[in-house]
Amino acid sequence: MKVVFMGSSDFAVPSLLILLQGGYQIMGVVSQPDKARGRGKKISPTPVKAKAVELGLEVYQTDNIKSSQALDQIRQWDPEIIVVASYGQIIPVALLEYPPYGCINVHASILPRYRGAAPIHRAIMEGEESTGVTIMYMEQGLDTGDIIAQESVDISKDMDGGALEELLAHKGAVLLLEVIKAMENGAVSRSKQDESQATYAHMLKREDEWIDWNRSAKEIFNQIRALSPVPGAYTLLDGIKIKVFAARLIDKSWPGVSGQVVALSKEGFVVRTGEQGLEILEVQKEGKKRTKAVDFLRGYRELEGKVLGQ
């Protein structure tokens, strides 16, 4: 089967690899344009493009998949199926209707819950104990197409956004291969989504990264692990930006004000929240590398009593 693969982020890479391992002919790969990434803001390719180039695959990049040039390129490849995983643009109807086997998408949630751009982050932020992956037919709506297959996974309390993304990426890839094999044999089923159960995982905004210490410790804990390692939740210490990557819930109430460092610990420091305390375990000072909070304390011996967020 001739495949055009459309993807950009790390989440999509295992799906690309498993199609190659399964013997499918990748006619071409479509990915987002190169852009500034990381601390140094170096212009870099997407993870999918980098892997495709390494494998000697033809890559097409565009910031407008609806353009006539993009449509012409994909028609030239003449795919029997288009596979989409974490691509980053809305696919036009002209492409959705082109391949005989259709366009299918690997989505990182159990649809119809968490439709949209940030299903992994939002599931953890909401304190979900499980999520999963869905292989679905694509249509004009945002993640509204018929479901082909799904697989659920548990979200453990020590799992952050990066770990969950890695798990779902590999689960999704395996499920994708099973689905395509079934499609070749004419053995796939499809089911409509229950619109009454739909929820949306809106794209992350800058304000989602800001830690509001007036919220409960559990809410902040979920925010921190959801946004770790990227983009990272942050606060301020004496006006300096501090990202927080790992924390632990402390089942104890503390005097003081929200955001106040109320105690130092063997592994970091405890911050009073709107409800109970939160032990901070890993941080990153602006312009510095990520470090254990206990090491960070060596440069802030007078941290106890200070109020974060200002």
pLDDT in tens, 200-237: 999 999 999 999 999 999 999 999 999 999 999 999 99
- In the 8-state DSSP scheme, what is residue 297? G
Instruction: Give yes or no on whether 2-197 and 207-299 have one common fold.
Output: no
Q: Where are the domains of the chain?
A: 2-197, 207-299
At residue 160, the pLDDT reads 98
Residues with Cβ within 8 Å of 295's Cβ and at least 6 positions away in sequence, in order, are none
CB-based burial, 238-271: b 16+ in 10 Å, e otherwise: eeeebbbbbbbbbeeebeeebbbbbbbeeebbbb
At residue 247, the pLDDT reads 99
Do 241 and 232 touch, CB atoms closer than 8 A?
Answer: no
Q: What is the mean pLDDT of each run of 10 residues along the chain (310 residues)?
A: 98 99 98 84 94 98 97 98 97 96 98 98 98 98 97 98 99 99 94 98 97 98 99 97 98 94 97 97 97 94 93
Q: What is the pTM of this model?
A: 0.95
At residue 39, the pLDDT reads 66
- In the 8-state DSSP scheme, what is residue 71? H
Say whether domain 2-197 belongs to CATH 3.40.50.170: yes
- CA dist., res. 108 & res. 89, Å (int): 16
From first CA to last CA, the distance across the chain in angstroms is 57
At residue 301, the pLDDT reads 80
- What is the CATH topology of the domain spanning 207-299? Methionyl-tRNA Fmet Formyltransferase; Chain A, domain 2 (3.10.25)
Sign for the pseudo-dihedral over CA of 220, 221, 226, 227: positive
